[in-house]
Amino acid sequence: MQVLSVTSEIYPLVKTGGLADVGGALPLALKGHRVSVKTLVPGYPAVMRAIEGATTGEITGQSRSGHSMISSAQGPMFSKSPMQASTFSSSIAPPSMTVPAAPMRMPPARTISTTGAASPPSPGRRPDCPAWACQRDRWRNRHRLRPDLVHVHDWQAAMVPVYMRYGEAPEIPSLITIHNIAFQGRFSADIFPHLELPAHAFSIDGVEYYGDVGFLKGGLQAAWAISTVSPSYAEEILTPEYGMGLEGLLTYRSDDLTGIVNGIDADIWNPETDPNIVAHYGAGNLKSRERNKQALAERFGLVEGDGPLFCVISRLTLQKGMDLLAETLDELVAMGGRLAVLGSGDRDLENLFHAAAIRHPGSIGVIAAYDEPLSHLMQAGADAILIPSRFEPCGLTQLYGLRYGCLPVVARTGGLNDTVIDASSAAIAAKAATGFSFGPVTTDNLRRALRRTVRLYKEPKLWTAMQKQGMKSEVSWEGSAALYAGLYSELIARKGT
Ligand code: ADP
């Protein structure tokens, strides 16, 4: 089965969040299911530099329009040339990694915001996005891409099924995956003439969205099927509270909507071999984690303590519930906890965390940066990871936490709800508990969850049993890749009917 995946991010070439991890790992996992994936990614400068260093692979050249460049690059060079969008620090992929990629020439990553809000196109101009380049380059014919199915991710690629439906390839099955419905790619209606779509596409069953043009909305109308990244989120987005204006359309298409939880790349995230941590360990020798904990405490200037060392690895935003966490910090320290925070985001929230670090020197440390290697050390050294998100389509950091014996403390929403088993007395007795969850998402409930965590930390046997249980959890792509492969087959079979 040949699948063309279209995404604006792919690890290790360009990453701002979980979408990149999925873009990089899912194609590799699908190989085991006889699905061959070619990925189309924007040719951000960092991506183009990485491709230039290709030692293997084929570069078929620049298109006449100057907008795109197709290559099929093999991965060895990625280990020497770690690539991230220019604002982020570097990451390293294992030398064996292969990322079949077809980058398109695009402006720097920063001009294409993932929110669709930070840098809107100038009035009357089309926004640059992968879908546009696909259309512009008539990719199917020029590059002889003849996929059995096209799988697109989020609003940046959502116009691909729209172009397919209105001319390019209505007969090819398409799947759109929603990684976060908060980011919709909504633009003023005056870009419509620049999209080169037929006039009737500006309608309620096309790209028209409350009088504007909605990229995600158009993609949700046009794609053959819709998926999102956890079963709970698939239900939540049918409600006004989580659907962000698209709940009506999604309810209408709910027969075609499914939720498949993300996995993680278990080779990159493996505490037994991870090159970014100080001491390797597995479920059988958890004692070695201690050295990672010491290194982590040193990095964040934390003193020794009896309570758990919590960590946060996150965008500091309201979605992630960071305002709620900021309100509990004095109590967290009073309970004997320590906290290491890695992340940046809303200036006001950053300031709250910096202020707490000043109030509690040695107990709270903050590094306002994006640092992939440090994020690995934190998972390997911290006792628990805090994820109090207001909504969380899937979430990856709790999965890394499970694999690394860093117990997740999570809000009961979306993928967090589907992947963490709360330490209720029944779950502890059944040896099934893997973390702590709370809901509804309020400061008081978060406070209670912190208290429960601190209390259980004082029972080392129970704590270790939970770590081991978490480390046994199935968090790889194995099961989910099978579900995607099944969904692809179903859609391709539907083509014949
Ligand atoms: P989202 O995509 O909504 O930001 P996810 O949990 O799905 O949240 O994915 C976040 C990804 O980004 C994870 O791989 C996480 O480790 C990584 N990440 C987030 N913030 C940082 C940071 N400051 N430094 C390093 N990695 C980070």
Write out the DSSP string of 168-186: I-TTS-EEEEES-TT---E
User: Measured from the CB, is residue 154 less than 6 Å from ligand 1?
Assistant: no
Q: Report domain 2-264+478-494's class.
A: alpha beta
**CB burial class (10 A; 0-12, 13-18, 19+) of residue 58?**
exposed
> Which of 326, 327, 330, 331 minimizes the C-alpha distance to 341?
326
pLDDT value for 290: 97
Q: Given the CA of residue 369, which atom of ligand 1 is nearest to it?
A: 23
> Which of 353, 357, 349, 341 minimizes the C-alpha distance to 317?
349
Distance CA 320, CA 379 (A): 18
167 φ/ψ sector (left φ>0, alpha ψ -120 to 50, else beta): left
pLDDT value for 49: 63
User: Measured from the CB, is residue 173 less than 6 Å from ligand 1?
Assistant: no
Fold observed for domain 286-471:
Rossmann fold (3.40.50)
pLDDT value for 12: 73
The torsion angles phi and psi of 42, rounded to 5 degrees, stand at -60, 140
DSSP-derived secondary structure letter, 165: I
User: Measured from the CB, is residue 341 less than 6 Å from ligand 1?
Assistant: no
pLDDT value for 399: 98
- The 3-state DSSP class for residue 380 equals helix
User: Measured from the CB, is residue 447 less than 6 Å from ligand 1?
Assistant: no
Q: Within its chain, how far is the Cα of 253 from the centroid?
A: 24
Q: Within its chain, how far is the Cα of 146 from the centroid?
A: 28
Ligand 1 center to residue 78 CA distance, Å? 20
Contact 12/83 with Cβ under 8 angstroms? yes
CA distances from 77 to 73, 82, 95, 494 (A): 9, 8, 8, 40
pLDDT value for 163: 86
> Which residue type, as a one-letter code, is found at position 465?
A
User: Measured from the CB, is residue 397 less than 6 Å from ligand 1?
Assistant: yes
What pTM did the predictor assign?
0.85
Ligand 1 center to residue 457 CA distance, Å? 26
Distance CA 380, CA 287 (A): 12
**CB burial class (10 A; 0-12, 13-18, 19+) of residue 474?**
middle
pLDDT value for 40: 76
Ligand 1 center to residue 343 CA distance, Å? 9
Distance CA 234, CA 163 (A): 25
Ligand 1 center to residue 242 CA distance, Å? 21
414 φ/ψ sector (left φ>0, alpha ψ -120 to 50, else beta): left
Outline which parts of the chain fall under CATH 3.40.50.2000. Answer: 2-264+478-494, 286-471
Q: Divide the 497 residues of the chain into consecutive groups of 10 and give the mean pLDDT of each group.
A: 85 78 87 87 63 43 32 32 24 28 37 31 45 48 69 90 83 94 88 87 96 95 97 97 96 98 91 97 96 98 96 96 98 98 94 98 96 96 98 96 98 98 97 97 98 98 98 94 97 87
Distance CA 222, CA 225 (A): 9
**CB burial class (10 A; 0-12, 13-18, 19+) of residue 127?**
buried
User: Measured from the CB, is residue 414 less than 6 Å from ligand 1?
Assistant: no
Q: Given the CA of residue 398, which atom of ligand 1 is nearest to it?
A: 6
User: Measured from the CB, is residue 396 less than 6 Å from ligand 1?
Assistant: yes
> What order of strands is seen across the sheet that includes strand 208-209?
186-187, 212-214, 208-209
pLDDT value for 395: 96
Element (H, E) at 469: helix 460-472
Q: What's the number of CA atoms in the CB half-sphere (13 Å) around residue 257?
A: 23
pLDDT value for 312: 98
Q: Given the CA of residue 387, which atom of ligand 1 is nearest to it?
A: 6
Quick one: CA dihedral 325, 327, 330, 336, positive or negative?
Answer: negative
pLDDT value for 265: 85
pLDDT value for 144: 55
| Mutation pick for ligand 1 pocket among 26, 179, 397 (CB with most ligand atoms within 8 Å) | 397
pLDDT value for 48: 62
Ligand 1 center to residue 314 CA distance, Å? 5
